[in-house]
Chains A and B, each alone.
Chain A
Amino acid sequence: MPRVGLSGQHREAADGAASLDIEASTIRELLAILVQRYPRMQRHLDEGLAVSINGEIYRDNRDMVIPETAEVFLLPRIQGG
């Protein structure tokens, strides 16, 4: 089961959890479960979220498959110049 790391405001929305075990095979599933478990996460989803899987940051690709043993990290959506 992938372990999902959180920081900052995401941690706050998840009742202070630094990491969560979430049974999800894609980013879409992961986010759906997160919001279901922690409704306050919806605001961050609306503002923009990115998901890092094994160090690679995915901003948009919700179909991305999360390998069973992957390191997953929730990040704010990044803006650039």
Chain B
Amino acid sequence: MAHDTSYTDQDFKIVGSRPPRPDGIDKVTGRARYGADVSAPGQLVGRVLRSPHAHAKIRKIDTSRAQKLKGVKAVITSKDLPDLTEGNRGNYDILENCMAREHALYDGHAVAAVAAVDEQTARKALKLIKVDYKVLPHVTDVDAAMQDDAPVVQPHIQHDGKPSNICNVSQFGHGDVEAGFAQADVIVEKTYKTEQTHQGYIEPHACLASVGPDGQGELWVTTQGHFTVRNLCASLLGMDIAKLKVTSSEIGGGFGGKTHIWTEPLALALSRKANLPVKLVMSREDVFKGSGPTCSTSMDIKIGAKKDGTVTAASATLRYHAGPHPGPWGMLGGMTAWACYDFENVQSIAYDVLVNRPKVAAYRAPSAPMAAFGVESTMDLVAEAIGMDPVDFRIKNAAKEGTRASYGPTYGPIGIGPTLEAVKNHPHMRARLGKNQGRGMACGFWFNFGGQTCTDLNIGVDGSVNLTVGTVDVGGARASMSLIAAEELGIPYDQVKCNVGDTASLGHNDTTEGSRGTFSSGMATIFAARNAIEEMKARAAKTWEIDIEDIEWRDGAAHAMGMQHSNLAPLSLAEIAGASPGTGGPIAGHNEVVADGAGVSFASHICDVEVDPETGATRVIRYTVVQDAGKAIHPDYVEGQFQGGAAQGIGWALNEEYVYGEDGCLQNPSFLDYRIPVCSDLPFIDTEILEIPNPNHPYGIRGVGETSIVPPLAAIGNAVSSAVGVRLDHTPMSPPRVLKAIKEKQAGG
């Protein structure tokens, strides 16, 4: 049934308040169960053997000695995962990434797995597996991989009629950039690089798989999308979708990294072979080497402007690495690069490039932060060249309702202008800067999306309400969903209990990605509640023996309208529920929806840094996030998304990077050497929530989670550049890089 999803500008009673989250007690007492926290009787321990080479042909794998080891119950290689993909190249790529077939494509690529009675035996068994590798030439750098003589990662990929690592070229834009540059008074052109980073969720991938010889199975797994996990695993293993029940555990962070499958099919295959449950938990090293970090990039950005601040043309050439399989990452960089602005002539050309690094997965607003680093750094350079304040320069060129976006469509009501005005008026902009300190600001954009969603709402005979959603709660969503259900039903927040349902209890739900959780499950919750209200009105009509048209639902009760019914006292939700066994049985609301029309979101960040000129070390001393959230359902968790995204961006900007050696192997697969920001690295992160309603959601909800990671790289780049007086063009702006830039500037006079 189609529903009207238009924004209605209603007055909210409890949406927008900040009640405690329903899973709070479990999470502060240690009771909450994450991926590795569940065990099954007789379970085995699974471990994965990974390639020590960046690129190699696998000539032979001898597992015989491992299989003979006492306590080993199953050993698998790609032979145990036959290709059932029937020409679906995307699925084949996933299969090949989960377990190497003819070739190991990166350092850490899984080549075999074992299940044994305990951890020690499993480790011992891995050592007994003999893999005969023929080491092949490798390439890990995105620019090197584009050269004609580069080692080819996937020979079936062609570009310009010959095997190449360039797997996609996408072009976006409008107008005539050459003509535009010809009109410019000032043109700035610069090349930037960003290094590869990891989502860095604290909980490693973990699952518990159990498959019987009858082809039925269960999987407990930490994931952002258990329905996606189910569909993919069932398809790769030749199981029926309905016979694989996947339950999402509490999830210890994902940020896009848990939107795919990694060791899950291996655990299922091991369990199937051993006919026993198998628990498979990644080590941190496995996570760095064998999950899905984001891309490294190299970019050429060019902006031309008139002296009055009008940008006449802008172009970007973006090169994003994709890992060993094609992905949409460069394309997303190309689409987002100029999305904040209203430029007449604009263009982006984006290349996706294969390299011998782990498969790239989404990382929070995937691909947008890198492009924004290049674009927003160059915007500052242009502002400086024409002598204009960088905020005013952006305000002059900001996209607005009716602007044709650089990626094609025309914007509805959007928030980039208001976030910039808020930045201009923010007290942060007037805070005094000290010695060696600098200020920067930058803007960011992310699309957000909705997708398939299915929700159940069941009312108990005591009037308490079970809300079952199928979108994984990654950061407090159950609180927001409970608020929405309570708002619609007109009952207290505490009367609603929200659960995340398993794949056997609900229809398909898309993965919690693209900032879709609150937008789409919020929409389905509204309609499921309205569905239940219709049923409750029908029950009241039956009880009162009046027409349902004469009944109105408000303040958690059915009210009979009209003078003729003035003797009828309202029937509360609890009263209707209590009588339900005799009025037609259980009362439930249900909704399935394709939640489209997610509103785009924009943010502007301000950042102050202090750079130590002796060491090149940078400290963030003040940070402010201004973002359009649409309606903020639970403001605490909206602020939390703003702050968390900013902190991840700060880590990306200043410290985090994948370091590869000459041998193509990852040199820093630990939290000691891959340093994410710690508590003492950061200041308080101020937030300002703008609520520009999304016209396509009854409550005006936009996605919130991702945009906050887009501006920080550039905001910090602009601040550091201002502090040291030289432009930084390469993230992370780690002490050695900053020191080098300072020294070069001093040497150059």
Stretch at the interface among B425-433, B442-450, B611-619, B665-673: B442-450
Write the residues of chain B forming the contact surface with A, with a CB cutoff of 8 angstroms. 2, 90, 168-173, 199, 254-257, 259, 328, 331-332, 334-335, 362-366, 405, 407-412, 446-452, 513-516, 594, 596-598, 696, 705-706
Task: Identify A54's interface contact among B256, B412, B446, B449, CB under 8 A.
Answer: B412
CA distance in complex: A75, B446 (Å) = 15
Identify the interface centre among B255, B364, B412, B598: most chain A CB within 10 Å of its CB.
Answer: B598
Main secondary structure of the interface of B (DSSP, over half): loop
Closest Cβ of chain B to A73, distance in Å, is 4
Find out whether the CB atom of B331 lies under 8 angstroms from the CB atom of A76. Answer: yes
* A9 lies within 8 A of chain B by Cβ: yes
Residue on A nearest B349 in the bound complex, by CB: A8
Find out whether the CB atom of B170 lies under 8 angstroms from the CB atom of A9. Answer: yes
**CB-CB contacts of A49-64 with B at 8 A, as 1s and 0s?**
0001011111111011
Find out whether the CB atom of B408 lies under 8 angstroms from the CB atom of A73. Answer: yes
* A25 lies within 8 A of chain B by Cβ: no
Find out whether the CB atom of B328 lies under 8 angstroms from the CB atom of A76. Answer: yes
Find out whether the CB atom of B596 lies under 8 angstroms from the CB atom of A80. Answer: no
Identify the interface centre among A47, A61, A63, A79: most chain B CB within 10 Å of its CB.
Answer: A79
Closest Cβ of chain B to A12, distance in Å, is 9
Closest Cβ of chain B to A44, distance in Å, is 11
CB within 8 Å of B: which of A33-81? 47, 52, 54-61, 63-64, 71, 73-81
Residues of B within 8 A of A2 (CB): none
Task: Identify B412's interface contact among A7, A8, A55, A61, CB under 8 A.
Answer: A55
Find out whether the CB atom of A71 lies under 8 angstroms from the CB atom of B597. Answer: no
Find out whether the CB atom of A78 lies under 8 angstroms from the CB atom of B170. Answer: no
Closest Cβ of chain A to B538, distance in Å, is 28
Quick one: given A80-B514, A80-B706, A81-B366, are A55 and B411 in contact (CB under 8 Å)? yes
Residues of A within 8 A of B331 (CB): 8, 76
CA distance in complex: A46, B364 (Å) = 25
Find out whether the CB atom of A59 lies under 8 angstroms from the CB atom of B596. Answer: yes
Find out whether the CB atom of B447 lies under 8 angstroms from the CB atom of A57. Answer: yes
Residues of A within 8 A of B412 (CB): 54-56
Residues of B within 8 A of A47 (CB): 90
Write the residues of chain A forming the contact surface with B, with a CB cutoff of 8 angstroms. 5, 7-9, 11, 47, 52, 54-61, 63-64, 71, 73-81
Closest Cβ of chain B to A62, distance in Å, is 9
Quick one: given A73-B409, A78-B514, are A59 and B362 in contact (CB under 8 Å)? no
CA distance in complex: A63, B450 (Å) = 16
Find out whether the CB atom of A7 lies under 8 angstroms from the CB atom of B596. Answer: no
Find out whether the CB atom of A8 lies under 8 angstroms from the CB atom of B597. Answer: no
Task: Identify A79's interface contact among B173, B366, B409, CB under 8 A.
Answer: B366
Find out whether the CB atom of A80 lies under 8 angstroms from the CB atom of B170. Answer: no
Closest Cβ of chain B to A46, distance in Å, is 9
Find out whether the CB atom of A76 lies under 8 angstroms from the CB atom of B170. Answer: yes
Quick one: given A5-B408, A55-B409, A57-B596, are A79 and B514 in contact (CB under 8 Å)? yes
Residue on B nearest A53 in the bound complex, by CB: B409
Find out whether the CB atom of A56 lies under 8 angstroms from the CB atom of B597. Answer: yes
Closest Cβ of chain A to B648, distance in Å, is 10
Find out whether the CB atom of A81 lies under 8 angstroms from the CB atom of B706. Answer: yes
CA distance in complex: A8, B173 (Å) = 9
Find out whether the CB atom of B362 lies under 8 angstroms from the CB atom of A80. Answer: yes
CA distance in complex: A77, B362 (Å) = 14
Find out whether the CB atom of A79 lies under 8 angstroms from the CB atom of B332. Answer: yes
Find out whether the CB atom of A71 lies under 8 angstroms from the CB atom of B706. Answer: no
Residues of B within 8 A of A55 (CB): 405, 409-412
Quick one: given A7-B407, A75-B407, A80-B513, are A57 and B171 in contact (CB under 8 Å)? no
CA distance in complex: A70, B115 (Å) = 57
Residue on B nearest A75 in the bound complex, by CB: B408
Find out whether the CB atom of A61 lies under 8 angstroms from the CB atom of B514. Answer: no
Closest Cβ of chain B to A28, distance in Å, is 13
CA distance in complex: A2, B598 (Å) = 22
Task: Identify A80's interface contact among B173, B334, B515, B597, CB under 8 A.
Answer: B515
6 residue pairs of the A-B complex, CB under 8 angstroms, read A9-B169, A76-B335, A80-B365, A80-B513, A80-B516, A81-B362
CA distance in complex: A79, B366 (Å) = 8
Closest Cβ of chain B to A4, distance in Å, is 10
Find out whether the CB atom of A81 lies under 8 angstroms from the CB atom of B170. Answer: no
Residues of B within 8 A of A57 (CB): 409, 447, 449, 596-598
Find out whether the CB atom of A58 lies under 8 angstroms from the CB atom of B597. Answer: yes
- 15 further A-B contacts with Cβ under 8 Å, apart from A5-B409, A8-B172, A81-B364, are A7-B408, A8-B331, A52-B408, A55-B405, A56-B596, A57-B409, A57-B447, A60-B451, A73-B408, A75-B407, A76-B335, A78-B447, A78-B449, A79-B513, A81-B257
Q: Please list the 5 inter-chain residue pairs (A to B) with the smallest Cβ-Cβ separation, ordered nearest first.
A: A80-B514, A81-B256, A52-B409, A73-B408, A81-B364
Residues of B within 8 A of A71 (CB): 409-410
Residues of B within 8 A of A75 (CB): 335, 407-409
Identify the interface centre among A11, A57, A63, A64: most chain B CB within 10 Å of its CB.
Answer: A57
Closest Cβ of chain B to A35, distance in Å, is 18
Closest Cβ of chain B to A40, distance in Å, is 15
Residue on B nearest A58 in the bound complex, by CB: B596
Residues of B within 8 A of A52 (CB): 408-409
Quick one: given A7-B171, A7-B173, are A80 and B447 in contact (CB under 8 Å)? yes
Closest Cβ of chain B to A59, distance in Å, is 6
Find out whether the CB atom of A7 lies under 8 angstroms from the CB atom of B172. Answer: yes
CA distance in complex: A54, B402 (Å) = 10
CA distance in complex: A30, B332 (Å) = 24
Find out whether the CB atom of A81 lies under 8 angstroms from the CB atom of B597. Answer: no
Residues of B within 8 A of A81 (CB): 199, 254-257, 259, 362-366, 513-514, 705-706
Closest Cβ of chain B to A70, distance in Å, is 10
Residue on A nearest B593 in the bound complex, by CB: A61
Closest Cβ of chain A to B198, distance in Å, is 12
Identify the interface centre among A5, A55, A57, A60: most chain B CB within 10 Å of its CB.
Answer: A55
Residues of B within 8 A of A59 (CB): 449-451, 594, 596
